[in-house]
Amino acid sequence: MRKDYWFKLLIFLCLPVSFCTNEFKYELPKVDPKVAILSINDPENDFLFEITMAKPFMDSIIKLNSDCKVDLYEDDHFLTTLKLDMALYNKDIYNQRFLKFSADSGLRFIDGKDYNVVVKYPGVDPVTAKTNKPVRVKIKEVTWTQYDYDMPKWYSVVEGMVFQDVLSIKPPYIEWTITFDDPSEIQNYYRIGVNYQYSCPRSWSLNTSVDGRLQYASSSLPDPVYMHSQYLVQNQLEPYEHPLFQYTKEIMWNNNEFNGNEHSIKILTPRPSQITGNLYFYPVLLKPSNFKYIISLYTLSEDYYKYWADRWKFLKSSQILDPFAEPMIFHSNTSNGCGIFAFSSLDRDTIEMDVNY
């Protein structure tokens, strides 16, 4: 009797396990790989066109075929065939995740022109993408004033930001007002970037110029749409002898509320003395000089803006752990593949300031 009892109990306990095992059997659907492109180009950088392969998550090994051809067209007229960087391709013979293409250094992209690419990858139908290089909108006026302000939270958590040590003491900042005339009857998209430049002697006979990207904040927008920008600092001072990347969040917006009118945006930056103050701790260095702010107003193509706006939405949603959230699909202007091909145009204004300000 006791043996029957334990036998029945064992069967009872095993049944749920058996049911669960059968109920959750699932096979992932087979997905054919797609050619994916990434080419987002700003005027101050060299043109770059990257190709990878969008494959199932479990298939982590990617070895792309170098027998790939990329043709570039301007207003539907053949312009050039892009060059594959074979030195980079041969760097890793087991896992070729990217093909990187470039154009001749003399090639210039013209505002207002349409550009399209045709990617011919072995074994798949041609992949195409088309976009427009927008006509640049010029800065009309830049004014500034000293301003006491508690920086927004999103400003202080930027990876690689170099001014976190001054945020707690609430020093005065500079509030910039950048004004421009928005073209009428055209949907336009914008972005702001700020550089700082100055000179500093390493000795009595040798000067070093510094050019870095500056993180700023909006004084009126509590939660702006932004994109991440990666900038290579030039000629960084000791102890950073080697090139150093800086990461900034740069505000983007459209002209839905001011189409065809004059528009101003206000941003906050640290003062020159906050940026160069740490140099006084180096006994071999002398006082920095020739301090400049460079305000960059980017006019973005629609594809450029929509892609980065989707990335911003993705970053925002990823901060909230929601198991029922809908999957995010980034904007793509690619046919028979996926990815983004886009341009911006640029206008700049330079403001010189006393380094002690």
How far is it, in rounded angstroms, from Cα 41 to Cα 301? 10
Nearest to 43 by CA among 300, 321, 324, 303: 300
Q: DSSP state, 230?
A: E
How far is it, in rounded angstroms, from Cα 15 to Cα 230? 57
Return the pLDDT at 230.
Answer: 85
Token digits for 296? 């960059």
- Per residue in 148-172, pLDDT (tens digit) is 766 665 555 443 343 444 444 456 7
How far is it, in rounded angstroms, from Cα 303 to Cα 109? 16
- Largest separation between any pair of C-alpha atoms in the chain: 102
Query: In order along the chain (357 residues), what is the average pLDDT of each group of 10 residues?
Result: 51 50 57 87 94 70 84 97 81 70 92 97 94 97 84 51 44 88 94 91 66 85 86 63 74 94 92 72 63 97 96 80 69 95 98 89
Q: DSSP state, 153?
A: H
- Per residue in 278-298, pLDDT (tens digit) is 554 444 456 788 899 999 999
Q: Strand 34-41 to strand 338-353: parallel, antiparallel, or no bridges (unpaired)?
A: parallel
CATH architecture of 34-132: Sandwich (2.60)
Token digits for 315? 């970053």
- Per residue in 52-104, pLDDT (tens digit) is 987 665 556 677 888 999 999 999 999 999 999 887 666 555 567 789 999 99
Return the pLDDT at 136.
Answer: 97
Q: Enumerate the CATH 2.60.40.10 domain ranges in the chain, comma separated.
A: 34-132
